[in-house]
Structure 1
Amino acid sequence: MKQNSWRSAYYNQNHFVLKLGISILLVGFGFRLLFSHSSNVIPNETDNILITPVVENDLNPVPSDFVESPKEFNQFQSKDDESGECDIFDGEWIPRSGSPAYTNNTCRWIESHQNCMGNGRPDTGYIDWKWSPKACELPRFDAKKFLERMRDKSWAFVGDSITRNHLQSFICLLSQVEDAVDIYHDEAYKNRKWHFPTYNLTVSVVWSPFLAKAEIFEDVNGVSTSEIEVHMDVLDKTWTEQFSTWDYILFSSGKWFIKSAIYYENNSILGCHGCEGKNYTDLGFNIAYQKILKNLFDFIMNSNPKSMIIYRTSTPDHFENGSWSTGGSCDRTVPAKEGEFELGVLNRILREVELPEISRAREWASETGVKLKLLDVTPLSLVRPDGHPGPYRHFYPFAKDKNAKVQYDCLHWCLPGPIDSWNDLLMNLVLNG
């Protein structure tokens, strides 16, 4: 494995520490994040998706030019070492001809909060773009070919609400060949399993927003009564107990780490993040994210899995003129131009943690033969502010009052929408890697 391409993915340690210190001071104790709920196909079912996504506007008065220029952002881009001459993550969005692979009428697995068409979004241009690498063609997700290659296999998507958003795109694409059969769900519909009987393929989604053991004290509306308690040294048994049964596993996390939390190691309090009024050392969420990712990859490598492991990077939101809780919106209908949106403070911290950790893990994997892939969707997602539900997370939000004030979702993604291209990339990694 080439190590030089990974070194360009992040600054040197001194710069990282300096930037991290500035970022943590800016973050401070001044925000409290709530996580929203999203319904499945069952009406009124909730599961605590980000209600108050963390956005840069929450950090007022951070100047808009605080983050680096587009040229500097390239230093944070990963390289696809395993695709020969083509870096599939280096490209642009171009117009797509033809219809989307599915719609809200042809896929019954879209959650209501991401069903932009069904909720009355009037424009449809956001579905008419595809991701195009600069050095090669990226084939569209071929559900028939994928299902044939996945006969008698099992997949798992492990993570938070964005992971589930991604999973639903995956299920919708495959269901155009054979509709998935829902064979398991827990009471809250957070953990689910589908089966494609003709191909004997099973696909699971596992709710584990921290990937580690965590006690979350929230009601169905995402209102917290206490800080989350995160055990940084204990991975979540919800997925570890099933790990050896899966052939392909996609992990992703990030956003939940920004919530106020108390951190434990060896069942003792080590510190906290954003725990105002508590007599604990504020460690910053980056410490928890780094420790847990290290534990995640150590667990994977020491398990010597035969499965393929994919880690998907965290994704940016696109709130403008405010945040989720202060009237922020996302009304754009076309992709942004290069440099129009910059990776903000909090997303930068997440990226500065995850790229070095997966770099370390991939070097280890190259020595042991473990199949570990990076699905780096951050740069290509950054320029798609048009792909979020916005006000259309609600059913026809302006039907009664065209000037109604409604809460926008500028974090999750419309289905169909830009994240269908994530699965074009995923298919490339899996079938060609």
Structure 2
Amino acid sequence: CDIYSGRWVRDDGYPLFQPSFCPFTDGAFQCQENGRNDSGYLHWRWQPHSCDLPRFNATDMMERLRNKTLAFVGDSLGRNQWESLVCMLYQAARNKRNVYEAHRQRVAKAGYYYSIVFADHRVHIDFYRSHFLVAENRRLPDKIKSAAANCTLSLDRLDPAAREWRSADLIVFNSGHWWEHRSIHSGECYFIQGSNYTTQMDGLAAFETSMKTWARWIDRHIGRTQKIFVRGYSPNHFSGGDWDTGGSCESHLEPLADEFKLDELSSKVDVFSRVLRSMKTRVTFLNVTKLSLFRKDGHVARWGKKHGWDQQDCSHWCLPGVPDTWNELLYASLV
């Protein structure tokens, strides 16, 4: 059964947690708390066409993770998914005082690393921020610096923090969102491979090169008992502009009804498929792109701050919401 081919169905058994009772969500994802007054987007379940997904069971998930570390590595959309899973598990924790951030940090947008401890099961659910998975902001030789370029990406070197990720028992990676930034496509970023430096490289080609570097690292460093996942591209739904030019998505209150083609997003899905086929290590692909495309209603939109704001966020998702389904698919791959 292809669990990624299906439709969204109304289900009043959702959401799987209440945001006001989860202390580990960034305020920017708490749409209801920030004043969103429609709640229909909370009550949708992903239904594959030819089978059923197992109902998410937080108690069973915790038993499967007992004495283990599950790490999410990626950008803020990876943190979106990480916060979702933490809250899905926290909802079922009997002794909530035994669930805490290991360093007593408050979860916030700027954080690089968080580790939520479920002490009763000796489980750690970690998040590592890595925008591109490869190394960024490497110092350039003075002779090639350009006033127009304000970032560097070492396409042949994984993020140095990889030495911290590699010990996790299960790792969920994501990449793609930051490859859409204007700097990647407008000559404002140096792409580095060995001793070669250029600002003139196709963004999709650079993305694929970075994922090949990630794949080589996985094949070289990941042990047989570790489980590796890569979550597919999370689509945005800006209409009438981009995030900084008046784009919006708040007018949609239900999932899109019609089937559609991935069109321009298919190129990113194809990158993941090609890279994963080339690998020796078994990696589970959480192919969430198409099912997420239906959910224009699920974005933060103007509810990333109390009482809303003018600049809309049509990339990240409200919690509870679409990332909960990504985690249901993660759970389905473990049972």
User: TM-score, structure 1 length as denominator?
Assistant: 0.69
Tell me the distance in 1 between the aligned counterparts of 2:272 and 2:209. 10
Q: Does 1:389 align with 2:300?
A: yes
Q: Give 2:175's aligned residue.
A: 253
Which residue of 259, 262, 265 corresponds with 2:193?
265
- The answer to whether 1:291 aligns with 2:291 is no
| CA contact 1:130–1:418 (8 Å) conserved in 2 | no
SS of structure 1 residue aligned to 2:79? helix
The 5 Å alignment of 1:338-349 reads: 338-339=258-259, 343=262, 345=264, 347-349=265-267
Residues 323 and 339 of structure 1, relative CA distance in 2, 3 Å threshold: farther
- Partners of 1:142 and 1:116 in 2: how far apart? 25
Alpha-carbon separation, structure 1, partners of 2:5 and 2:234: 16
Task: Output the amino acid matched with 1:286.
Answer: L
The alpha-carbon deviation at position 121 of structure 1 amounts to: 0.3
Query: Is contact 1:393–1:409 with CA below 8 Å preserved after alignment?
Result: yes
Secondary structure of the residue aligned to 2:121 is coil
For 1:333 and 1:321, the matched residues in 2 are separated by 17
Q: In structure 1, what is the Cα distance between the partners aligned to 2:266 and 2:315?
A: 16
Corresponding letter in the other structure for 1:355: S
1:188-207 alignment runs, 5 A limit: 188-207=110-129
Q: SS state of the match for residue 237, structure 1?
A: coil
Aligned 1:61-140 pairs, distance under 5 A: 86-140=1-55
Give, in whole Å, the separation in 2 of the partners of 1:411 and 1:225.
27
Instruction: Describe how 1:175-324 pairs up with structure 2 within 5 A.
Output: 175-178=90-93, 179=96, 180-184=99-103, 188-215=110-137, 226-238=149-161, 240-259=162-181, 260=183, 261-266=189-194, 268-272=195-199, 282-305=200-223, 306-324=225-243
Change (3 A) 1:270 1:216: closer
Contact 2:14 2:45 survives alignment (8 Å): no
Q: Could you say which residue in structure 2 is the equivalent of 1:78?
A: none
Aligned partner of 1:157 in structure 2 is: 72
Tell me what 1:31 maps to.
none
Amino acid at match of 1:323: D
| Cα shift readout 1:199-236 (whole Å, capped 9, x = no counterpart) | 0001110011110110189xxxxxx9952100111101
1:332-369 CA distance string (max 9 Å, x none): 000002246x5453x343223222112222xx33xxxx
Q: CA deviation at 1:304?
A: 4.4
How big is the alpha-carbon RMSD for the aligned residues of Structure 1 and Structure 2? 2.1
**Among 63, 71, 74, the residue aligned to 1:148:** 63
Look up the equivalent residue of 1:242 and give its one-letter code: E
| Contact 2:135–2:154 (8 Å) recurs in 1 | yes
**Deviation digits for residues 276-313 of structure 1, max 9, x if unmatched?**
xxxxxx11111221111111111111224121000001
TM-score between the two structures when normalised by the length of structure 2: 0.88
Change in 2 beyond 3 A, CA 1:251/1:177: same
Alpha-carbon displacement from aligned partner over 1:1-24 (angstroms, at most 9, x marks no partner) = xxxxxxxxxxxxxxxxxxxxxxxx
Q: How many residues align?
A: 313
How far, CA to CA, are the matches of 2:263 and 2:29 in structure 1? 24
For residue 41 of structure 1, what is the aligned residue in structure 2?
Answer: none
User: Partner of 1:336 in structure 2?
Assistant: 256
CA distance in 1, matches of 2:138, 2:88: 33
CA contact 1:262–1:269 (8 Å) conserved in 2? no
- Counting only pairs closer than 5 Å after superposition, residues 409-428 of structure 1 correspond to structure 2 as 409-428=313-332
Aligned residue in 2 for 1:13: none
Gaps of 5+ in 2: 140-146, 184-188
Identity %, equivalent residues: 31
Per-residue Cα deviation, 1:249-273 (whole angstroms, up to 9, x for no partner): 000001212332211122x34322x
- 1:206/1:225 CA distance change after superposition, 3 Å: farther
Measured against aligned partners, the alpha-carbon deviations of 1:134-156 in whole angstroms (never above 9, x if no partner) come to 11111232111100111101110
Q: Secondary structure at the match of 1:245?
A: coil
Q: Which structure shows the bigger proportion of residues in strand conformation? A: 2
Aligned partners of 2:56 and 2:328 also within 8 Å? yes
For the residues of structure 2 that align with 1:348 and 1:90, how far apart are their CA atoms?
15
Looking at structure 1, the residues matched to 65 and 299 of structure 2 have their Cα atoms a distance apart, in angstroms, of 30
8 Å CA contact 2:149, 2:190 repeated in 1 = no
